[in-house]
Structure 1
Amino acid sequence: MPDSNLRQDSAATPIASLKGHHIAIRVPDYEAAKSWYVEKLGFRVIQEWPFGDLHLAYVAPPHDDSFYFEIIGDGEVNDAPIYHDINSSMYKAGHHHLCMTVNDVDEAIAYLDSKGVTIIGVPFNLEAIHRRLAFFTDPWGNLFELAQVID
């Protein structure tokens, strides 16, 4: 089995320079979603544009200019699954969650809870990866993880 920790030379393949840029989140109400990410998570609106009958925006975390959420809203949309605990969410195929790091998971979850954000379960340690983890959702069922490095 090849060592997955080895970095490829940037000239080795056309995709060796690949980096994350954004994740797209489909919601039924563009303005409500934009407001939620700004008011609840403190995100900044970077850019907005129309696409047919849809409205789109890049929003970014307060201190990260390298990764965006792309909100795709309005138009016709199907309902997403809504999870009430992390264990039941693990058996649905496809995109599961997006993880973001924070300095202190417990403080971050307490803050989000005070803002009325839906918290999924309680923070827990996962020793196998040296992380303290917690999960929350936006009002449209998109699942997010917060991670803190622990010793």
Structure 2
Amino acid sequence: MKFEYTYTRLNVADYEACKQFYSQVLGFEIAFVDDNDRYVELTTGDTRITLFDRKNLKEFVGQKETLTYDRHYAGIALSFQVANLEEAIAHLQSNGITLVNQPWDFPDRGFISACFRDPDGNLIELQQLLLDTING
């Protein structure tokens, strides 16, 4: 049996704000959208993320399922590589996004990193590879 990973779906409370954030702030392309069911597929390179309005989950997973939610949940983090972390942070801040932490350096792993949250509270990490490690 082979399982092939296809995409990550975020079940969000604020569908419109998250759709705008991923498409306009992060620049993902909208590959498919169904605003009636409040579902959108977004792509960047080979990566696909889908957003689904959490209010529709009971229809999707059944009435017996319950969903607990904490805006500071960190069980899942989306990670994105950027060419320049400072520029990425400046872009986010110009769009009203606040960092969760100050950038930190992982020289033994070859990157610097910083985290923020999308409009729904999902944790997102940005990583910039360190050239010394790559060339090294």
- Please indicate the TM-score interval, normalised by the length of the shorter structure: 0.7 to 0.9
Unaligned runs of 5+ in 2: 58-66
> Which residue of 1 is the match for residue 64 of structure 2?
none
**SS of aligned partner of 1:120:** coil
Alpha-carbon distance, 1:71 to partner: 0.4
> Which residue of 2 is the match for residue 8 of structure 1?
none
User: Would the alpha carbon gap of residues 48 and 54 (structure 1) be closer, same or farther in structure 2, given more than 3 Å must change?
Assistant: same
> Which residue of 2 is the match for residue 68 of structure 1?
48
Is residue 39 of structure 1 aligned with residue 24 of structure 2? yes
> Which residue of 1 is the match for residue 2 of structure 2?
14
Higher relative contact order (CA 8 A, sep 6+): 2
Alpha-carbon distance, 1:98 to partner: 1.4
User: Would the alpha carbon gap of residues 106 and 32 (structure 1) be closer, same or farther in structure 2, given more than 3 Å must change?
Assistant: same
Q: Which residue of 66, 69, 75 maps to 1:80? A: 69
Aligned partner of 2:2: which letter? P
User: Would the alpha carbon gap of residues 35 and 79 (structure 1) be closer, same or farther in structure 2, given more than 3 Å must change?
Assistant: farther
Higher fraction of helix:
2
Within a 5 Å distance, the mapping from 1:1-151 to structure 2 comes to 14-15=2-3, 18=4, 20-49=5-34, 54-61=37-44, 64=45, 66-73=46-53, 75=55, 80-83=69-72, 95-150=75-130, 151=132
The one-character-per-residue Cα deviations of 1:30-64 (angstroms, maximum 9, x if unpaired) are 223211222221222111237xx842111123xx1
TM-score for both structures, normalised by structure 2: 0.76
RMSD over aligned CA atoms reads 2.4
Unaligned runs of 5+ in 1: 1-12, 84-88
User: Would the alpha carbon gap of residues 80 and 44 (structure 1) be closer, same or farther in structure 2, given more than 3 Å must change?
Assistant: same
Q: Any conservation in 2 of the 1:80–1:140 contact (CA below 8 Å)?
A: no
The percent identity for this pair of structures is: 26
> Which residue of 2 is the match for residue 9 of structure 1?
none
TM-score for both structures, normalised by structure 1: 0.69
Runs of 4+ in 1 over 4 A off after TM superposition: 76-79
